[in-house]
Chains A and B, each alone.
Chain A
Amino acid sequence: MALRLVGIPRHEDPASAVDPLAAISRAAARGDPQAVDTLLLSVTPAMLRAVRGVLGGGHREIEDVLQESAIGLVNALKTFRGESTVLHFGCRIAVLSALAARRRLRESGKEPVDTREDLPLASNECSPVELVLAARRRALLRELCDALPIAQSEALVLHCVLGFTVEEIADAGQVPPNTVRSRLRVAKETLRARINADPTLREALEPKA
């Protein structure tokens, strides 16, 4: 079961769309230190997940990038107008920070960008081979994010890595939903082409009856 981000986007239920963190974020924007703490403790776990998704679970920069993202969230609160939930807003900041960190590391050429992920233990549901293939697919998506334009990478990560819907991506980034769909189409096509180029990964794409 995928972890679903909390918060009801306004377009789904305008009458009762309440972001549980809206009041806290307003207090935090006014400088209330307790509200800042509460907000960070509430949102940082999801931001951590976003950073791990982009960098890889064992990456040495996770802590730094997460701190940067959290500081970015606190500083951006004054301009946040509730177009999306605070959680989605924070996750977007974390994704953009992590993508920027990947590009910075790649451009500096001083550190391998993709670190070896710790594979979960094989279980009855997943054989060791499937786990290895899954890790390769994740690595391939991360590499693709370095090559795509930032807007497409952002949409691909928010959708594929974090499970955002088109409307949630549109709300968080303040762009029209059709713009998000176009970005996703191009990004998904490129991802599909890369996976197809690997014969071992291609097998898993066959539709199951």
Chain B
Amino acid sequence: MTALACPDSLVARSRAGNLSSLERNQLQLHLQKCEACRVSLLVGRDFDAALAAQSDDTLFVSQVVRALRASPGARVNTSRLPARSRRAARLLMYGVAAALLTCSFVVGAASPLLRRRLALFIGVQAPQSPLAARAASAHGARVALLAAQPRLAAKPPPPAPTIEVAEEHAPPPQHDEPRVTVQSAPAANGRSAEAIFAQANAARRAGDLAVATKLYQELQGRYPRSREAEVSRISVGRLLLEGSQDAKSALEQFDRALRAPNSERAGLAEEALFGRASALMRLGHRDDERSAWQQLIQQYPGSIYADRAHARLAELGAGSQAAVGIFPAQQ
């Protein structure tokens, strides 16, 4: 049986029930003789059964999409001009710079009267006395030259400044507090928030939890207001609960995530509330834990964590010490 003779497309379409009776007969005849295609069809049907849609898929997908809205990596970059436009803009800039340079030479060589008039045109006040006028005309020429120089240099605008403020222990989350999320600028050693975030994620996926935690904390220390830092708080909180079992530090992470201005829109608040409740459970703060579960259910009645929240509230009410959290302690 050669490769070209195996009707792979018929095998695929048969799983979807898209064969005519003639095609079905053709496939059956082939399957009687070709074990590889029988395997392919059998295993394919195994996956069809296992990969049927699950009841919480819609919620799961919408959570992923919400998280992506806040992710800097998901933005399509449309700010760069097409090549032809960039070339035209560059030529125009050179032309303007050359014209200004020529004008400045003309001004420098021109008569004092002309220089005074040009200085006034540019916006420099000309003094009245001849001595002052001489000084002003020289000054005016200098101003004209200085005005031309920045254009000649034609440097790009400096990056937006990063305002790094040491975050102190803040009051409980208040979602109507106006805050400014500042774009992250590269640090002196060139590592941007995005780069650190990507490194931390890679370390976490590779199982280097200690390295991942350190990188996330570095990100939060250097770019505390960046979007990457906001998103990372959930990950750090989980790592602290699961790995080092530092529930107190984990609680701080979840509280900070809840204080982030876009936490609701980014889908982080639900995760943070659950993490907060789990951390309080570990710390044994039963009253605060009860309030946290109630807040989760109230704000997200359809949450995937709602059942666990109800179960834990029932246990707290009955005085049970059983643990329900989704973040089991690693052995």
Q: Is the CB of B44 within 8 A of A181?
A: no
User: Is there a chain B Cβ closer than 8 Å to A199's Cβ?
Assistant: no
- B67 — which chain A residues lie within 8 A by C-beta? 67
- A115 — which chain B residues lie within 8 A by C-beta? none
Residues A71 and B74 in contact in the complex (CB < 8 Å), given A40-B65, A138-B50, A182-B3:
yes
CB 8 Å contact bits of B179-214 with A (1 = contact, 0 = none): 000000000000000000000010001111000000
Quick one: which of A49, A164, A191 contacts B39, CB cutoff 8 A?
A191
Q: Is the CB of B40 within 8 A of A188?
A: yes
Quick one: which of B76, B206, B208 contacts A75, CB cutoff 8 A?
B76
- Chain A interface residue count: which class? 35 or more
Q: Which of B56-64, B118-126, B139-147, B156-164 lies at the interface?
A: B56-64
CB 8 Å contact bits of B67-78 with A (1 = contact, 0 = none): 111010111111
- B64 — which chain A residues lie within 8 A by C-beta? 44, 63, 66-67, 70
Quick one: which of B49, B58, B68 contacts A120, CB cutoff 8 A?
B49
Residue of B nearest to A57 (CB): B50
Q: Is the CB of A44 within 8 A of B12?
A: no
Q: Is the CB of A64 within 8 A of B201?
A: yes
User: Is there a chain B Cβ closer than 8 Å to A126's Cβ?
Assistant: yes
Q: Is the CB of A189 within 8 A of B36?
A: yes
Residue of B nearest to A156 (CB): B40
Residues A2 and B48 in contact in the complex (CB < 8 Å), given A28-B76, A64-B201, A74-B74:
yes
Taking the closest CB of chain A, its distance from the CB of B47, in whole angstroms, is: 5
User: Is there a chain B Cβ closer than 8 Å to A95's Cβ?
Assistant: no
User: Is there a chain B Cβ closer than 8 Å to A141's Cβ?
Assistant: yes
Distance, CA A91 to CA B252, complexed state (A): 38
Distance, CA A104 to CA B116, complexed state (A): 72
- B37 — which chain A residues lie within 8 A by C-beta? 188
Residues A163 and B43 in contact in the complex (CB < 8 Å), given A71-B74, A101-B205, A111-B207:
no
Taking the closest CB of chain B, its distance from the CB of A56, in whole angstroms, is: 9
User: Is there a chain A Cβ closer than 8 Å to B117's Cβ?
Assistant: no
Where the two chains meet, the residues of B that have a C-beta atom closer than 8 Å to any C-beta of A are 3-4, 6, 8-9, 11-13, 15-18, 31-32, 35-40, 42-53, 57-58, 60-62, 64-65, 67-69, 71, 73-78, 201, 205-208
Question: Can you show 7 pairs from A to B with CB atoms below 8 A apart?
Answer: A45-B61, A120-B49, A135-B46, A137-B42, A184-B3, A189-B36, A205-B39
Top 3 nearest A-B pairs (CB, nearest first) are: A110-B207, A31-B78, A165-B9
Where the two chains meet, the residues of A that have a C-beta atom closer than 8 Å to any C-beta of B are 1-4, 28-31, 33, 36-37, 40-41, 44-45, 48-49, 52-53, 57, 61, 63-64, 66-67, 70-71, 74-75, 77-78, 101, 104-105, 108, 110-111, 117, 120, 126, 134-135, 137-138, 141, 159-168, 178, 181-182, 184-185, 188-189, 191-192, 195, 204-205, 207
